[in-house]
Amino acid sequence: MNEKKLSELISRSVINVDKPTGMTSNDVVITIKKMFNLKRCGHTGTLDPRVTGVLIVALENATKAMPVMMRLDKEYEGVLYLHKDVDKTKLEKVISEHFIGEIIQVPPVKSHVARKARKRKVYYFDILEKNEKNVKFRTKVESGTYIRKLCSDIGEKLGIKAHMKELRRIAVGHFKIAQSHSLDEIKNAYKSCKEGKETSLKNILIPIEKATSHVKKVYVKDLSVSSVRHGAPIKSSDIVKLGKNIKSDEIVGILSSKDELIAIGKKTKSVIKIERVF
């Protein structure tokens, strides 16, 4: 693969990284930025240094799509440590009654957001295994839910102390841990690509069109592509195909007839306003 083609491929891609323990999310971003010699690079959701698993890293132009990936639901597996042993039946009862569905959560002290009570959704919190005070769990939550705080809140509701002992993020929306890649794997694939063996890197790089597959789509006429790229709002006369049930103020992906993502916009009553152009 020639340098220009490789550069274009990288600039419109994201990577599903299996973040190792001991690194911050920003450490991973800096490592990849240096590895690929990039100007821009970012991640779509912070993991604590001791937490491992799915970290979505956007490269170059794909960083413009980060806002629509940050809102994806998250899935985790971890270990909740109870400071005092509690019967499994009682634990499951407290969780089902108080920590499933819409909950009120105050971000932890060390978070980077305002410590104000806010609503978040917990889709499930399943006990996989209980070994005395160690409770292995799997949970799926709305973006912005703090699992560490969830664990301590469960302990508080039980009338004891509890904390998160281990945590691994196993999914971010449609990005799964089974399709993630270690930093060494990414480094070796990039090196092989520079040597003419491009298959491994192609399997790692996720085009922004695929990365944003969860976003509703609007297809525009070929004649309208240029004006969209210059930020002009999209009128009904520009549209070839419109996704189903797009609501007012909803974020949408704008694509050409070649299935190329050219912009992200927001639906209004009369037009679609362009927010970011690729």
Q: What is the mean pLDDT of residues 176-201?
A: 93
Could you give the residue ranges of the DSSP H alpha helices within the chain? 3-11, 25-36, 66-70, 88-98, 147-158, 183-194, 199-204, 208-211, 225-229
CA distances to 124, 145, 154, 169, 243 from 103, in Å: 12, 10, 12, 20, 31
| Closest C-alpha to 180, from 188, 167, 169 | 169
CA 4 to chain centroid, in Å, comes to 28
**Cα distance between residue 22 and residue 16, in whole Å:** 18
For residue 76, what pLDDT is reported?
Answer: 98
For residue 3, what pLDDT is reported?
Answer: 66
Task: Give tens-digit pLDDT for 210-232.
Answer: 999 999 999 999 999 999 999 99
Q: What is the mean pLDDT of residues 23-50?
A: 95
Q: What domains lie within the chain, and their CATH numbers? A: 3-70+176-211 (3.30.2350.10), 74-172 (3.30.70.3190), 217-277 (2.30.130.10)
* 240: three-class secondary structure by DSSP: strand
Q: Which residues are annotated as catalytic?
A: 48
For residue 214, what pLDDT is reported?
Answer: 93
Q: Is the per-residue pLDDT at 109 higher than 90?
A: no
Please give the mean pLDDT across all residues of the chain: 93
Q: Is the per-residue pLDDT at 5 higher than 80?
A: no
Residue labelled with tokens 């980060």: 66
| Closest C-alpha to 99, from 47, 142, 41 | 142
Is 132 exposed, middle or buried, given 0-12, 13-18 or 19+ CB atoms closer than 10 A? exposed
Confidence band, pLDDT 50/70/90 cuts, at residue 153: very high
Q: Is the per-residue pLDDT at 115 higher than 90?
A: no
